[in-house]
Amino acid sequence: MKKYLTFPNFMLAVGLLFLYIPIFSMVLYSFNNSRLVTVWDHANSPTLKWYAELFRNRAMLEAAWLSIRVAAMSASAAVVLGTLAGLVLARFGPFRGRALLQGLTTAPLVMPEVITGLSMLLLFVSLESVLAAFGIRFGRGILTITLAHITFTMAYVTVIVQSRLATFDDSLEEAALDLGARPAKVFFRITLPLIMPAILSGWLLAFTLSWDDVVVTQFVSGPGYNTLPMVVFSSVRRGVNPSVNALATLMVLVVAAGVVVSAVFMKRAEKKRERETRLAEAGL
């Protein structure tokens, strides 16, 4: 027991508490009857009334639907672009402009969102005036939000894919080339299937980042197009709101369920694989 009472372990426990207490408190108070959220109403709690109110809130539901659509579209496009960029940076030799590409793909990772948001908004404004000269009306809305989200989430996919390819055994690709497959075929039949887990986690990451984004979205969206984070943000600027607690609890449940399910799946697949390998080595 003594060996677990080290300083790092203590800090680890403190840190984990620090990470989870806010989440637990949010979840807890979502069942609190009082509108004051943090003042526990003993008489009438726990209650599900805020969940009901959440589902009656049309603005929130529409915003949620918009957010899901935007996140799904931008994650899918970001994965395609990010995988291409990751492939180029990990596999292609030096070419003119490589350094710039490297910079452009990883800058969004650390760039403050106000800058990205502002710059993309101004791009769309310029585009608007250019297209107006040709008589085409261009309004900001779901398209501009999606384009902006794709741009900053693809950086994350690029990093994931690039580092996965770095550890990828390239003798597999060489073997495929040697057997007569052209580079495109090698990519689609050999590389892609084997880096699929990384691509999937990239999609999930891009989805989460898009679903969650508030600053960039506020800049580039148009009137009438409110995403869920925008609605939540303007609501909580005015103070706590029990419906938001309910929303938070639902999200935590979904994420936790997803993580548990995937962990169980992966564990099972790993066990199966280990068993098969052992049997093979034993000569069966």
Q: State which of positions 111-140 bind other proteins (CB under 8 A).
A: 111-116, 118-120, 122-123, 125-126, 129
Using rule CB under 8 A, residue 82 touches other proteins: yes
Using rule CB under 8 A, residue 148 touches other proteins: yes
With 0-12 CB in 10 A as exposed, 13-18 as middle and 19+ as buried, what is 197? exposed
In DSSP notation, 150-182 reads HHHHHHHHHHHHHHHHHTS-HHHHHHHHHTT--
Least Cβ distance, residue 163 to other proteins (angstroms): 6
Using rule CB under 8 A, residue 200 touches other proteins: no
- Interacting residues with other proteins between 205 and 234 (CB under 8 A): 208, 211-212, 214-215, 229, 232-233
**Calculated CA dihedral for residues 105, 109, 110, 112, nearest 10 degrees:** 100
Using rule CB under 8 A, residue 19 touches other proteins: yes
Residue of 45, 47, 57, 106 that binds other proteins (CB under 8 A):
106
**Rounded distance, CA 77 to CA 128, Å?**
23
Using rule CB under 8 A, residue 79 touches other proteins: no
Using rule CB under 8 A, residue 202 touches other proteins: no
- Helix, coil or strand: residue 101: helix
- Range in contact with other proteins (rule: CB under 8 A) among 47-55, 58-66, 134-142, 146-154: 146-154
Residue 41 vs 170, nearer CB to other proteins: 170
Residue 70 vs 89, nearer CB to other proteins: 89
CB 160 within 8 Å of CB 201 = yes
- Interacting residues with other proteins between 154 and 193 (CB under 8 A): 154, 158-159, 162-163, 166, 169-172, 174-185, 189-190, 193
Nearest Cα to Cα of residue 108 among 202, 197, 216, 214? 216
Question: Residue 135 has what DSSP assignment?
Answer: T
